[in-house]
Chain A
Amino acid sequence: GAVVSQHPSRVICKSGTSVKIECRSLDFQATTMFWYRQFPKQSLMLMATSNEGSKATYEQGVEKDKFLINHASLTLSTLTVTSAHPEDSSFYICSAEGNPNTEAFFGQGTRLTVV
């Protein structure tokens, strides 16, 4: 299957700082990327849908100014957690798709800890 690389896999940051997470499709062009958050023993919660070259569509309750998403190319989307707080500590994972309604390929996820 296709490869989606997410980096970093783990990050610890101080409260008030910003953290950038990258999601790259390595062998296909991802027209759409999705960003999810997962709490312990819970299912994936969609945060936003990102289409190349356009603004991300955020789910209800997700602060767009706090979770900045950029999808500047067909192979790269970034999620920046701004002014991080301990409650932002979570597992963040991206998925990428080439064409609508096709197989979803997921990154390895990023474990964010804000101290």
Chain B
Amino acid sequence: KNEVEQSPQNLTAQEGEFITINCSYSVGISALHWLQQHPGGGIVSLFMLSSGKKKHGRLIATINIQEKHSSLHITASHPRDSAVYICAVRRGGSNYKLTFGKGTLLTVNP
């Protein structure tokens, strides 16, 4: 079983829909990252969370440390949101490496 599990693997939505992508992890962490990878390959860091909730524009990320679960929400989705969304966790302790989920491919149709 992977340390970081994302669901769904693929998601197709119509423009304007509310999107939720889930991430569960099985190890103790110091932080959880949500990343966005566009078709060209470049990766953008969306959020780094260690507790609670963060909001940036139409994006909202939440984390429940006790349940080892995080969600990324996109409100009023737009075709330009189409990308792969990746959840990554950084373990607690002195290990600085990120462990990545397999990603969720989001396609938003106009």
Report which A residues bind B (CB closer than 8 A): 1, 32, 34, 38, 42-44, 46, 49, 91, 93, 95, 97, 100-109, 111
Contacts and interface: CB of A to CB of B under 8 A. Distances in A.
Given A43-B102, A104-B98, A109 B33 contact: no
Contacts of A1: 44-45
Given A42-B102, A43-B86, A43-B101, A100 B96 contact: yes
Interface stretch (B34-42, B59-67, B70-78): B34-42
8 contacts: A32-B96, A34-B98, A38-B41, A43-B103, A95-B43, A97-B96, A101-B90, A106-B44
B97 A34 contact: yes
B96 A109 contact: no
Contact of A104 (B30, B40, B45, B94): B45
Contacts of B30: 101
Given A43-B86, A101-B90, A103-B48, A93 B43 contact: yes
Chain A to chain B: the 5 pairs with minimum beta-carbon distance, closest first: A106-B43, A109-B41, A108-B42, A43-B100, A103-B48
A103 to B, nearest CB: 5
A46 B96 contact: no
B31 interface: yes
Residue with the greatest number of chain A CB neighbours at <10 A, chosen from B31, B35, B40, B42: B42
Interface of A is mostly: strand
Contacts of A105: 45
A43 B6 CA distance: 11
A102 B100 CA distance: 16
B41 A111 contact: yes
Contacts of A101: 30-31, 90, 96
Nearest to A111: B41
Given A106-B42, A109-B43, 4 more contacts: A34-B98, A43-B101, A108-B42, A109-B40
